[in-house]
Amino acid sequence: MAVERQRVRSRDVGVRAVLSMNITSYLRHATTVMGILSVVLAALSFIAVIVERSSIALWSIRRRRSERRYLPTISRALDGDDSARERLAACPTGDRLLIAELMILPLIHDRDPDRISRTQAIVRSMSLVDDADRYLQSRLWWRRALALRALGLTQIRERTASIVAALDDANPDVRGAALDALSDLKDPASLQAVAVRLNDVSLHRGRITAALAALGTQCEPFLLDLASVDPVHRSNYARALAVCGTARARSDLTLWTRDTRAEVRAAAFESLAHVGLDDRSATLAIESLESGDPAVRTMAARALHGWTGNPDAASHLARHLGDTWIVAVSAGRSLQSMGAAGLVELEKAAARSDLAGLLARQMLWEEKAQC
C-alpha cells in the first residue's frame, strides 16, 4: 500500500511540473507576440504621422501655388477685366473650389455691395451655383453647410427657397449655416419663414434674431400680426421687435406691458427701450419698477434710459440702486442718461455706505471720465 501511494505522488508531481513548464512557455510566447505587435503598431503610427504631415505639406504647397496663380486674376476680374473673368470660367475643375474660396471668404468682412455684385457675376459665369446645388444634396453635413454659406455671402436670391428648406436639416450646424445665409441674403421672400421660426427651440436664438435684424423694419407688421393671432408665444414676438420695431409698434407694446405673464411684460419693455417711450408707456414703466418680478423691473428701468419727460422718473429709479444687482445696474445706467436730474439722484445715493452707494459712485466716476 505504501509503494502505491508513493507512485501516485510521483505521478502528480510530474504532471504539475509539466503544466508549469507549459504555462511558462505560453507566457514567454505571448510576451514575444505582444512585443512584436507593439513594434508593428508603433511603426504603423509613425508611418501614419509621416503620411499625414506629408499630405498636409503637399496640400499647402499646392494651395500656395494656386493662390499665386489665381489671386492676381481674381483681383483683375473683380476690377471688371472681362478677359480675367473668362480665364477663371475656363479654369480646371479641380481648381474651382479653391477659386470660389478665394473670392467668397473675403465677403465675410467686406460687405461692399459692388464687390458682392461682381463676385456674384463671376460665380455665375463659373457655374459655381450648380456646384452649390450638388453640395446641398450631399450626405456630408459640412458640404451642405459650406454651400449654404457660399450662397448667402454671394446673395444668390433664386436659392432662397433651398436655404429656407435647410432650416429643417437634421444637423444643427447646417441649420445654423442656413440662418447665417439668410442674414447675408436679406431677401424679403424669407421674412415670414424666419419670423415663424422664432418659436423653434431647435434653432439658435441669436442667429434667428440676427436674420430678423438683417431684414430690418419690414419684419414689424408681420410680427405684430403673429403676436395677435398667437398670444401664447407673444413674448418671443415682442422680444424680436427690439431689433426691428419702430414707433408703429409702441401702442401694441404698451398694451402688452399689462399682460398677465411676466415674460411678456419684460419683453415688451425690452422692445420699448428700442422704439422709445411716450408719456403713457413711460408712466407704465415707472409703475412697473415696483413689480414683483426682477426681469420686469430690469427691463422697465432700461426702457427709461434717457427719458426726461417725467420729473419723478429719476427719483423712482434711485430707489432701486439697492435692488437685485441686474435691476440696480439698469437703474444706474438710466440715471446716468437723464442729465442733471439723474446726476442729482446719483450724488444723493453716493453718500450711502452700502452697495447702492458704491454703485452710485461708480456711475458718477464713469460720467466724469466721459466728460
Residue environment code for 265-274, b if the CB has 16+ CB neighbours within 10 A, otherwise e: bbbbbbbbbb
3-state secondary structure of 324: coil
Q: How many CB atoms lie within 10 A of CB 36?
A: 10
Contacting residues for 236 by C-beta, under 8 A, at least 6 apart: 198, 199, 267
pLDDT along the chain (371 residues), means of 10: 49 54 70 83 87 82 81 88 86 83 87 88 88 93 94 93 95 95 94 93 92 94 95 95 94 95 96 94 95 95 91 92 94 93 92 92 86 61
Residue environment code for 350-367, b if the CB has 16+ CB neighbours within 10 A, otherwise e: beeeeebbebbbebbeee
CA–CA distance, 223 with 213 (Å, rounded to integer): 12
Q: Is 249 in contact with 271 (CB distance < 8 Å)? A: yes
104 to each of 66, 67, 184, 230, 305, how far by Cα in Å? 16, 14, 12, 40, 41
C-alpha angle 281-284-286 in degrees, rounded to nearest 5: 115
Contacting residues for 190 by C-beta, under 8 A, at least 6 apart: 160, 163, 164, 182, 211, 215
Q: Is 255 in contact with 229 (CB distance < 8 Å)? A: no
Phi-psi region of 81 (alpha: psi -120 to 50; beta: other; left: phi over 0): beta
Segment holding 179, helix H or strand E: helix 172-185
Contacting residues for 349 by C-beta, under 8 A, at least 6 apart: 318, 321, 356, 357, 359, 360
Q: How many CA atoms lie within 13 A of 250 on its CB side?
A: 16
Q: Is 264 in contact with 234 (CB distance < 8 Å)? A: yes
292 to each of 12, 176, 265, 297, 367, how far by Cα in Å? 89, 37, 12, 8, 30
pLDDT of residue 237: 95
**Which backbone phi and psi does 224 adopt, to 5 degrees?**
-65, -40
CA–CA distance, 162 with 218 (Å, rounded to integer): 22
Nearest to 224 by CA among 200, 251, 193: 251
pLDDT of residue 54: 84
Q: Nine-digit cell at 369?
A: 471720465
Task: Indicate the DSSP class of residue 257.
Answer: T
> Could you state, in order of their start, the residue ranges of all structural domains in the chain?
312-371
Phi-psi region of 196 (alpha: psi -120 to 50; beta: other; left: phi over 0): alpha
39 to each of 15, 35, 371, how far by Cα in Å? 36, 6, 72
Contacting residues for 160 by C-beta, under 8 A, at least 6 apart: 182, 185, 187, 189, 190
Q: Nine-digit cell at 34?
A: 505582444
CA–CA distance, 148 with 73 (Å, rounded to integer): 25
pLDDT of residue 32: 81
pLDDT of residue 62: 77
